Amino acid sequence: MRVGYPASFTPDLLALLPREVEAVPIPSHPEQTYQIDLWIPPPAPAIGQRIWPHLRGVHTILSLMAGTDWLIALAPTGVTICNAQDAHNIPTAEWTLTAILSMLKYFPWYHDLQRDADWRGRAQIPEIYARIHANPNPTFPPIQQEELHGKRVLLVGYGSIGKTIEHLILPFGVELTRVARTARTTPVPVHAVTELDALLPAAEILILILPHTPASHQLIAAPQLALLPQGALLVNAARGPIVHTDALVEALHAGRIRAALDVTDPEPLPPDHPLWRCPNLLLTPHVAGITPRSAPRAVGLAADQIRRMLRGEPLLHVVHTGL
């Protein structure tokens, strides 16, 4: 079996692949065609899309990421695609919790003050709090941060990453409501996504961690943003197109909500895109799932899948059969 893998693999990652296969390094800028049976694509869709026309004979794709929408769009009939379920649960869940706490503790604003070497600007924090919550009443002492404890959290997407987020956030004493494609009552109550609009008005924090599909495309648009309570925090660690970008820009500039995004639409953001300059917004460049431990987990999972194929066993985490 010939297994194509990113030529940028470090030796420790390459050593995880079974010795029984012929490992074929695929460069990011291929200048020839490669005959392989199985492809482990790079995490970056743009690089993978550039490589795909140079591949021949691929019948199975083992993604190193949880999201496979770009691979499904790329692969023809007859190609089986598996995702790296569970490999990025921990870092993505940690990013989500960190983003929430960073916004509630006003870390982006305090970081700006640190760069200015002047804490006198902390007097702006109560003003920011009053604007985002539409609460002009003075407080004593002046507000300097908010608490996560007691917040009403709406978690949209209850797969393996969503459950890891739940595990991390529940000890903070939040009131958690779960949403998935279909409703269920056991082992915990989960609402159907068709109930989303009815749930949004109570959501002080809205977490998106669902796959991008035709059904979830722009699931959060202007009507949904308008349903969120004043000052709500939108956290998107899923896929950019799940949120209608223009509607989000408008809501942020209107001071209706705040947001923390690891993903955007478009991605990457052009330098002149208005999202860069929105108030009450924390941006990171689609890095939530990438840590020193996540790559070995993902490649280790791919290696286990290859061993299953060599033993004639069914693959795990199949998201597309190509039939």
Catalytic residue annotation: 239, 267, 286
What one-character DSSP code corresponds to residue 220? B
Q: What type of residue sits at position 118?
A: D
**First and final CA of the chain: distance in angstroms?**
22
Q: Smallest Cα–Cα separation from 201: which of 274, 152, 250, 238?
A: 152
CA 204 – CA 95 distance, rounded (Å): 18
CA 254 – CA 247 distance, rounded (Å): 11
Long-range pairs of 140-149 with CB within 8 A, sequence gap ≥ 24:
144/106, 145/104, 145/105, 145/106, 146/104, 146/105, 146/106, 147/104, 148/100, 148/101, 148/104, 148/172, 148/173, 148/174, 149/173, 149/174
CA 48 – CA 73 distance, rounded (Å): 12
